[in-house]
Structure 1
Amino acid sequence: MPSGLSLNGILPKLANQSTQAGLFKATLKAEPIKIRLADNKETEFWAYNGQLPGPQIEVFEGDAVEIEFINHLPQPSTVHWHGLDVPNEADGNPMDMVEPQGKKVYRFTLPQGSAGTYWYHPHPHDHVSEQVYKGLAGTFVVKAKNDPLAHLPEQHWVISDLRLNADGTIPANTMLDWMNGREGEFVLINGQYQPQIQVKTNERIRLWNATSARYFRLNIPGVKWIVVGTEGGLLEKPRSPVDELLLTPAERVEVIMVGETQGTVNLQSGYYDRRKMMVQEQPKDLTLATIQVKSEPVQLPESLRSFPNWDEPKQVRQIRFSEKMMNHTNMPMMNHGTHHATTTPTDNPIPPMMNGMFLINGQTFDMNRIDFVAKLNEVEQWEIFNESHMDHPFHLHGTQFEVIQHTLNGKTFKPEGRALKDVVNLRPYEKVIIRFKQGHTGLKMYHCHILEHENLGMMGMFKVE
């Protein structure tokens, strides 16, 4: 696969077809495309508007959004506006699928205080994993008119991964992919493999983990990261500089790089043990890009954003992630350095023996079941337990939440400073407490954002009235 191409960190934007102030109107078309990657072999991807990743949608708080989605895929699909507070009928839920050759107009208004780093991707149950690993994902940035960091230049890096057969085709999931989540051998930034990127230390960098299941421990020798924002926008205040940044599936962050490093270094990802099943991995670091660093002075404000205090929660709920071992007769241990070696893709998109393997509160997802009813604009506290042996990133639709505390190995700790998120990772046997409220009525999903686990039923649904 070609590598080492220059990348400027600026994503092509989706054009606004409206001339009316405060209205963003556009069209997104999902369709197969073919790209010649290497050795004169064509690879078929599925893409929004022919772009990998899809075009960036950039809007402001208060804007009305009207996007027509056209589905030219061979499968039903939806567009889920990941992390955004949108009406139920506009959230791209799996019960609202757009059939092949069908269309749907998504309409919503972005509330004040919603500035942040979001993304859009499909959410059809049983098909979400395949549609994302074939290329369907794009970025959605909501800006604020009073942004205290608006003076900083920005770069936007979407991290994805890709697996290819020798003939250039994208293979189906293997049994191990369904168990552990799919990881491709090529890690891409903005669709490029190991690109060359010029970075100044006064730039605001937005990062998206758009992979199905890969965890990143990002580091650059001689450079520290200052996190200034998470999924739901700016933090209360900049965090302390760190050498390494953990970015789990579907997470996003805004960072500033600091350090005395000048010249060429590598953006790397250290090995992360997320306790995969039936795999004995050899720890291996990855090189994601070559970075040309130029040191520039930057002064960050001590305060970035004010957060109101939460009312006492009206409801306290317990959410439990668990696994049920499948019948793996004739399933030998796979002992190899990378999990995708020499395993045979299943003919069935979801192997029947694996249905019901991943559970929430002891149940697998049922489109006809509502797990509970919540009240509009009422503060809820969820205590989320990971009772399984592997990591699971938890995602909640329709709102942003605040992580109150983590408990792991008998120790309780709080995040540094206040932040709004829509994804939080849970280590094996970890407990996380979150608080939030929902701003729209209707059906809301909550699930593991390892997309294969979501497909296999590690998802629930509740109703807001």
Structure 2
Amino acid sequence: MDNKADYERVPAGAALAEGVRISEAVPSRRSFLAGGIAGMLTPSVAGLLVSQVDAATMQHAAPAPSAAGGAAVPARELSSDVGAPLRIPFVEGEPLRQPEVRRTVNGELRTTLRAAYSYQNVGGYRLFLRTYEGAIPGPTFRMKAGEVLRIRLTNDLPPNREQMPLQMNQPHMLNLTNFHFHGAHTSPSGISDNVLRTMEPGQSYDVEIRIPEDHPKGTYWYHPHHHGAADIQLASGMAGAVIIEDGPEQVPEVTAAKDVTMVLGEVAFDGFGMVEGFDALFSETSVRFLTLNGQRAPTITMQPGEVQRWRILHAGYQDDLFLAIDQHQFHAIARDGIGLVIIGEGQVCTDQADRKDAMLIAPGQRIDVLVKAGEPGTYDFKALPYNQGYPSPFGLIARVKVAGAPLPMKLPERLAPPPLASIRDEEITNRRQLTFSAIVPENEAAAHWREFKFLVDGRSFDMNRVDQRVKLGAVEEWTIVNLHFHDHIFHIHVNPFELVKVNGEYVPPVWLDTVVLPRNGSITFRSRFLDYPGKFVLHCHMMNHEELGMMQVVEVYEG
């Protein structure tokens, strides 16, 4: 294959807004993770949080602005403090950039994708991270249903220096990779969306994914999924959006809205400004700050009365985020790429469930929302404190600046017809129950990550064992039980599912591919196992947990 990509480009870093707003420094990790959440902590988590936050406060306080209010100055020079991340000038409020866009030509998106280390300037730090195309996030792929994605993926990460371990359910061989099209209903076999492939450093591989003509149109994404390395690579920022574009059935109010891609990131790194071991990601208080399209505290601009469509993708590696905008509302129109029947439906919260001014998004989920700008002013787009069994990260994500001439636009009164038909009782051919659980040390704060195990049906992941066999064409109802005192995030490849119960209680049905599994609770869903035989996986999309064993192999077989 020719190494030259055949696609139309939108320049990387194309801004959504003009001008730079300089303001106070972004909150330090202490204020970000610790402020206002003491009452939410169990003793073990509290001890872990205090130790992590104190260390971060001593070594990683946010850059202080200059006396003139201009760009922040480095806290120290690398040469005078070897072994600590390099601090660099950081100015809050730069315009939100859009990722580079690659589009199909004549029904085919043919491109290259390079995985390699690159230096990244992120929120006042110069980091050395694994990335796609030297950017965080990677390029956005825009396609239509019925088209084909052809990628020549080059793994330019360095060779792995260790041998394959006997214990596979721990981080290992961190520079092996592969490619997962998250949420796609496509083949899991061969060179398609096959997460059981191995892509070695120094080699190039073909990926070919055909999108069915009747595929739901919406927001999806891609990321690495090689067991042992996926968590480290995703936490570094190896992710990008895939948009299957709307058809003529979309309602005019949505079509008229400005289309904005928003990739949420959780930033974690070690004392060298890298992600080179699990100690940088485990425990649950390792996130230093949040980013949007790889930027810390950027500015989004809108005109009064304007409606924008925000395609929000949670590409973070571990934690739920409870999103809100001051004096504004999110109007959800799609979840996990699948259009909703009713605006705003489908939220599963285990904390503050009655709040109407905030929206929960879990790792791996996508939520398309409409936002209608209010009066002129500047408003915080932020993550609020939230309890998922431990405190989720919270703090500023971006600022929304409403200014300029009024642009009166309407929100839709109805949505496009749903792309997937609800599953009726009489369609069900089988029912099964799975259990998520964990083995945790007596004192979590004093423990090493190797002491934790995360299990499905009481067993750790084994890629050579098939845990669930489903006949092609089956329509099944699954109940997933969580015996752990933390929420988990259930995700299954290839086939979306229709959520029908939470904690045994019926909920308005909603189609998803990733969902919060409540602590000490359950979810029940129905799914059609159509079109594609082969092996794929289900797992917790809190990637720390997946890496430590919370995953199973599913095989769909032809009868």
Counterpart of 2:357 in structure 1 is 243
> Partners of 2:400 and 2:220 in 1: how far apart?
25
1:414 to 492, 502, 507: 507
Cα deviations by residue, 1:302-324 (Å, 9 ceiling, x for unpaired): 13223423242111111111112
> Partners of 2:119 and 2:373 in 1: how far apart?
41
1:95/1:169 CA distance change after superposition, 3 Å: closer
1:54 match: secondary structure: coil
> Partners of 1:86 and 1:162 in 2: how far apart?
31
Cα deviations by residue, 1:421-459 (Å, 9 ceiling, x for unpaired): 110001212211111123311002000000010000100
Larger radius of gyration: 2
On the 8 A contact 2:103/2:143 being kept in 1, the answer is: no
1:324 to 412, 428, 439: 439
On the 8 A contact 1:9/1:155 being kept in 2, the answer is: no
> Partners of 2:534 and 2:398 in 1: how far apart?
43
| Higher share of residues assigned strand | 1
1:94/1:23 CA distance change after superposition, 3 Å: closer
- Report deviation, 1:3: 4.0
Counterpart of 1:202 in structure 2 is 307
1:305 aligns with 2:413: no
- Output the amino acid matched with 2:490: F
Counterpart of 1:273 in structure 2 is 387
1:179/1:289 CA distance change after superposition, 3 Å: closer
On the 8 A contact 2:231/2:317 being kept in 1, the answer is: yes
> Partners of 1:413 and 1:63 in 2: how far apart?
37
Counterpart of 1:190 in structure 2 is 293
Counterpart of 1:104 in structure 2 is 205
1:29 aligns with 2:127: no
On the 8 A contact 1:396/1:423 being kept in 2, the answer is: yes
- Output the amino acid matched with 2:107: G
Cα deviations by residue, 1:32-56 (Å, 9 ceiling, x for unpaired): 11134587x7421111111110000
Counterpart of 2:429 in structure 1 is 314
After superposition, the CA RMSD in angstroms is: 2.5
1:96/1:72 CA distance change after superposition, 3 Å: same
> Partners of 1:38 and 1:156 in 2: how far apart?
20
On the 8 A contact 2:122/2:296 being kept in 1, the answer is: no
Cα deviations by residue, 1:195-214 (Å, 9 ceiling, x for unpaired): 11113541111101111112
1:353 aligns with 2:438: no
1:45/1:321 CA distance change after superposition, 3 Å: same
Counterpart of 1:441 in structure 2 is 533
Aligned ranges for residues 332-371 of structure 1 at < 5 Å? Answer: 333=445, 352-354=450-452, 357-371=453-467
Counterpart of 1:256 in structure 2 is 370
1:246/1:378 CA distance change after superposition, 3 Å: same
On the 8 A contact 2:321/2:384 being kept in 1, the answer is: yes
Counterpart of 1:340 in structure 2 is none
- TM-score, scaled relative to structure 1: 0.86
Cα deviations by residue, 1:69-88 (Å, 9 ceiling, x for unpaired): 11111311001111101212
Aligned ranges for residues 75-94 of structure 1 at < 5 Å? Answer: 75-89=175-189, 90=191, 92-94=193-195
1:14 aligns with 2:123: no
- Report deviation, 1:215: 1.4
On the 8 A contact 1:229/1:419 being kept in 2, the answer is: no
- Output the amino acid matched with 1:414: V
1:381 aligns with 2:473: no
On the 8 A contact 1:31/1:47 being kept in 2, the answer is: yes
1:456 aligns with 2:548: yes
Cα deviations by residue, 1:379-421 (Å, 9 ceiling, x for unpaired): 111111111110101000012111112127xxx2414xx5321
1:365/1:183 CA distance change after superposition, 3 Å: same
Cα deviations by residue, 1:8-29 (Å, 9 ceiling, x for unpaired): 453211355xx5x211111111
1:64 to 140, 148, 154: 148
Q: How many percent identity over aligned positions? A: 24
1:352/1:121 CA distance change after superposition, 3 Å: same
1:233/1:7 CA distance change after superposition, 3 Å: farther
Aligned length: 430
1:403 match: secondary structure: strand
> Partners of 1:93 and 1:420 in 2: how far apart?
23
Counterpart of 1:339 in structure 2 is none
On the 8 A contact 2:321/2:394 being kept in 1, the answer is: no
56-65 or 1-10: bigger deviation: 1-10
Cα deviations by residue, 1:335-392 (Å, 9 ceiling, x for unpaired): xxxxxxxx9xx7xxxx5433xx111111110111101211223211111111111010
1:430/1:405 CA distance change after superposition, 3 Å: same
1:103/1:320 CA distance change after superposition, 3 Å: same
1:424 to 501, 515, 518: 515
On the 8 A contact 2:121/2:127 being kept in 1, the answer is: yes
On the 8 A contact 1:400/1:436 being kept in 2, the answer is: yes
Counterpart of 1:338 in structure 2 is none
On the 8 A contact 2:142/2:244 being kept in 1, the answer is: yes
- Output the amino acid matched with 1:205: W
- Output the amino acid matched with 1:314: T
On the 8 A contact 1:216/1:272 being kept in 2, the answer is: yes
On the 8 A contact 2:179/2:195 being kept in 1, the answer is: no
On the 8 A contact 2:374/2:402 being kept in 1, the answer is: no
Unaligned runs of 5+ in 2: 1-87, 159-174, 346-354
- Report deviation, 1:135: 1.6
> Partners of 1:377 and 1:244 in 2: how far apart?
38
1:6 match: secondary structure: coil
- Report deviation, 1:158: 0.5
> Partners of 2:551 and 2:121 in 1: how far apart?
37
- Output the amino acid matched with 2:298: P
- Report deviation, 1:333: 3.5
> Partners of 1:51 and 1:259 in 2: how far apart?
30
2:244 match: secondary structure: strand
| Higher share of residues assigned helix | 2
On the 8 A contact 1:183/1:212 being kept in 2, the answer is: no
2:255 match: secondary structure: coil
Cα deviations by residue, 1:102-137 (Å, 9 ceiling, x for unpaired): 222111221223212111000011111111111211
1:168/1:108 CA distance change after superposition, 3 Å: closer
1:163 aligns with 2:276: no
- TM-score, scaled relative to structure 2: 0.72
Counterpart of 1:289 in structure 2 is 398
2:307 match: secondary structure: coil
1:143 aligns with 2:249: no
